[in-house]
Every structure is written in structure tokens, then in C-alpha cells.
Amino acid sequence: MENCSPKNIVVISDPLFLKHNPGPTHIESPRRLEVIYERIEKPDIKDLYVNIAPRPANIEELLWNHSQDYIETIAQSKGKDIVQFDPDTYAGAYSWDAAINAVGACFNCLDKLITNQFRAGFALVRPPGHHAEYSKARGFCLFNNIALAAHYAINKLGAQRILIVDFDLHHGNGTQWSFYNSSNVLYFSTHQFPYYPGTGSLDEIGEGEGEGFTVNIPLFRGVRDEDMANIYEQILMPIAYSYNPDFILVSAGFDIYVDDPLGGFQISLNGFSIIANYLFDISKHTCPGRLFFVLEGGYNLYGLSEGVATIIKEIGLGQRDKIFDAELSLSPSVSILDTISEVKKIYSNYWKF
């Protein structure tokens, strides 16, 4: 953007999010955020962003996406050592406070982005959110941060079209179901399939007014940088340009990293650079300055912290003239070409490729 300050990314990081403790052996640990917070304080990153404070979402705002009974259930965990909601999802004494502030952090970021002073925002929060459903905690998630951010953009900021891009290894079931019948939100997900949580097949395309506005790209293990680049080039870009969103919200899951213990993809740090550049390029042509990332998964601490740093650096510096590194092969695997062809066939009734 022409009038960006040198610190042109707005970030939310706060010690409160380290207090969410699902248990001493849980893989979604406070250390995930600690390594990110340490990394963004290093000289190559710290001058690229402005850090702002979160605020708690209120009950009325949470009700945009969750039931009253469910909200009360999560609230009752406050002050208790460990409360289990499903086989993978726990809360501790401070989890309620962390969860409502994670949602409010998204709202505060969006408020900053509409001032046109920033290129993008990144809510570095936990617990993550995209598996949380209307009345069910799932997959380490309590409230659906990205879905509630979309509701906020529509209900408070006057947005009519929200593009949600979810690059987490796991399909965002909660986000999908939140907007399955709506054309106000276009949900685009690349994810390993079949895999947890079991949703995200090619035939899940939305219903009613939302038909064609859920775009699932189910992928096998072994997806590489060049595979993701071709998916974004051939599918995401034409759909996004046609949809012309008012905001682009991103569920940023770094469990697609090559060495992630829960993952089966082969995405390198250069792959995160590619993703960042595609999303920034789309935002520049559709909704400048309204590109927002919220942290989801990622369990290799190096890939997680360096992946976040890569995205902040790519967008903050904005120095690339081309999306791809010169040395990157643009030849996707045969299976990816087949998937791209099948997706285009399914969605040709809704979008032009």
C-alpha cells in the first residue's frame, strides 16, 4: 500500500495466551506461542509490525457462531485445573480468558485493518479455533476464532463478501459448517484427506445460497511447494478475483511443514513464502490492506516459528517482483494435476477458470 508506515503489519501477541494449558503432555502447548513470540522479537522481524492488545469478546459476539449452552459450558471451566471436552480438547484455569481474548484479538486486528494503515494483520493467539463447531469443542479448539472474525466483519464493519483461506493440514470443519448455507463467506480449504476430522471431501460444496461457496481441495500425503503453488494459481486466484472479497481471512496452520509430527505434507519455508505472496497479491487486487491471519495448528517448533516469521517478512517487506523463486520447479505431481482437473470440473458451474 502506498501509505503504509515502516511497521506495516499489525500483530497481536500477549502473555495471556500462554496461560491456556490443556495439560503438561498435550501437543498444543504454551511453548508453541513462546517460540513464535521469541522469534518475532529478532531484528529481522521486530521492525515490521506494530503489536496491539487483545480484548475479550462478549457473550453477544460469541453467540454469532456458538450456542448459549455451549458458551456457558466453556465458561464453567474457568478456574478449574483441567476440564475435558472431547478426546483431544481440554481447558485449564485460564482457558476461558484466553479463548474469549483470542476472539477479541481478531476483532481488534480487523478494526486496525480498516484504517488503511497496514498491509495485513496476524493474531498470534491460542487456543486455535477452526475445528470448534456451533455447540462442540473439537481438535484443541474452543471458540472458532476465524468464523467469529468473519461475523464481526459482516455485522460490525459492513463487509458483504468474506474469503476464508484455510491452509492448515486438517480440514476446518467448524468453519465450513458455520457458513455452509451462506454466500457471504467463501470457504477455501487445502487439507490432507482422509484425515482428522474426516470432513472436507470434494462433494462438500455448500448448500442453498451457499452452494459453490465451499471449496474443498482434499489432498494426499506428500504435497510439495510446487503443488500448493499450482493449486493457488489455478483454483484459488480465479475464484478469489471473481468473488472480489471485502476481507481475506486466513486460518494459518503450520502443520503442513515438512517435519511436523502430525502432518504428512512436504511444505518448506519457501512454501510459506509462496502462500504469503499469493494471498498478498490477491488482497492487493481485491481488498488492499484487509488481509488477516490467525494462528491455527503447527507442532514442529522450528517450522512454526520460522513459518510465521516468513509470512510477516514476505508481506512486511513486500520486495518480491515475482511470486516464485527462480529455482522453484513449477511442475506439480500427477495426482495434484488430477485433483485440480476434478475441482475445476465440479466448480465450473459456479466459477470461471
In DSSP terms, which residues pair with 275 in a beta bridge?
A: none
pLDDT at res. 330? 61
70: helix, strand or coil: helix
Would residue 142 count as lying in a domain? yes
Query: Which domain does 228 fall in, by range?
Result: 9-347
Closest CA to 254 of 205, 312, 194, 199: 312
1 lies in some domain: no
Number of domains within the chain: 1
Taking the chain (353 residues) in runs of 10, the rounded mean pLDDT of each run is 69 98 97 98 97 98 98 98 97 98 98 97 98 98 99 98 98 98 98 98 98 98 96 97 98 98 96 96 97 98 98 87 50 91 97 96
Angle at the Cα of 53 (from 274 to 136), degrees rounded to 5? Answer: 75
Per DSSP, helices labelled H in 169-252 are 173-178, 225-231, 237-243
Q: Is 191 a catalytic residue?
A: no
Q: Where are the alpha helices (DSSP H) in 23-66?
A: 31-39, 43-46, 59-62
pLDDT reported for residue 333: 87
- What is the CATH number for 22? 3.40.800.20
Nearest residue to 45 (alpha-carbon basis) of 314, 244, 351: 314
Residue 31 belongs to a domain: yes
The whole-angstrom separation of Cα 18 and Cα 58 is: 21
pLDDT tens column, 38-67:
999 999 999 999 999 999 999 999 999 999
217 contacts 134 by C-beta, under 8 angstroms: no
Rounded-to-integer distance, Cα 232 and Cα 237, Å: 6
Please list, in sequence order, all residues whose beta carbon lies within 8 angstroms of the beta carbon of residue 84, skipping any fewer than 6 positions away: 90
Give a yes or no: residue 352 inside a domain. no
pTM for the model: 0.96
> What pLDDT shows up at residue 331?
81
Residue pair 199/138 in contact by the 8 Å Cβ criterion: no
| CA pair distance 105, 201, nearest whole angstrom | 31
Amino acid letter, 240? A
Q: Is the peptide bond before 197 cis (omega within 30 degrees of 0)?
A: yes
Q: What is the pLDDT of residues 271-297, one digit of tens each?
A: 999 999 999 999 999 999 999 999 999
In terms of DSSP H, where are the helices of 22-126? 31-39, 43-46, 59-62, 68-75, 95-113
DSSP calls for 295-328: E-----HHHHHHHHHHHHHHHHH---SSSS-TT-
Q: Which residue is catalytic, options 20, 66, 130, 131?
A: 131
Do the domain assignments include residue 2? no
